[in-house]
Amino acid sequence: MRCLLYLCFFCLCTSLAAQKRGNPALSDGTPLQLQFDTMLDVSNRYRENNDEFKVVRRLYLDAFMSNVSDSIAIYTQRISQLESDKARLQAQIDGNASQVADRDATIAELNAERDSVSLLGFQLAKDTYSIIMWSLVLGLLVAFLVALAGTRVASSNNNELKRERDKLAAELEQSRKSRLTVEQDLRRQLQDEINRRNR
């Protein structure tokens, strides 16, 4: 009895293994193309009027179609996931592109501010500002030199006038002294004349 049970169990296992081995669509992890080729290889064939036909078991076809449907569902799900990832990444790219554009605009604005100087409310390029400032410095230097030369000329003229004044003052003093001397001489003479007449 025990032997009969072992024999039944062995037959059942081998029939299940043979069924699984015989149906290529039941093997997990096998690519669909290999399942299809194996299913055609294990199928019966017959010829009719120079045409070759294959007789594929309905069980094989159902299992294969189930595998194809599962693969299509998996690939459809993967495609939708990839499309959502693509949409998310595209939105990120668009956001980054707008941020990059904003930053580029800010950088251009900062570069323009760095390369320009505000003078009396006008934005001038640094080169133009430099030319204007150096022109002002040179103009002020020329004006200073002209003013310095003018003060030197005025100072020398002043010194000359001072010398002339001193000279005129000395001549005037000399003239006054000589006039006083002449006056004194005239007074003496007049006094002498008056004294002579009174005698």
Q: Single out the residue in 61, 80, 111 at which a domain terminates.
A: 111
For residue 104, what pLDDT is reported?
A: 92
Q: Single out the residue in 83, 111, 139 at which a domain terminates.
A: 111
Averaged pLDDT, 85-98: 92
Q: Single out the residue in 66, 87, 111 at which a domain terminates.
A: 111
Averaged pLDDT, 15-20: 40
Residue 24: which H helix or E strand, with range?
none
69, pLDDT greater than 80: yes
Averaged pLDDT, 166-184: 87
For residue 1, what pLDDT is reported?
A: 56
> Considering the domain boundaries, does residue 155 fall inside one?
yes
> Considering the domain boundaries, does residue 183 fall inside one?
yes
26 and 104 in a single domain? The answer is yes
DSSP state of 28: T
151, pLDDT greater than 70: yes
For residue 21, what pLDDT is reported?
A: 47
For residue 2, what pLDDT is reported?
A: 60
> Considering the domain boundaries, does residue 1 fall inside one?
no
Q: pTM score > 0.85 for this model?
A: no
- Least confident range from 29-43, 109-123, 170-184: namely 109-123
Structural domain range at position 174: 125-198
41 and 92 in a single domain? The answer is yes
Averaged pLDDT, 124-142: 87
132 and 191 in a single domain? The answer is yes
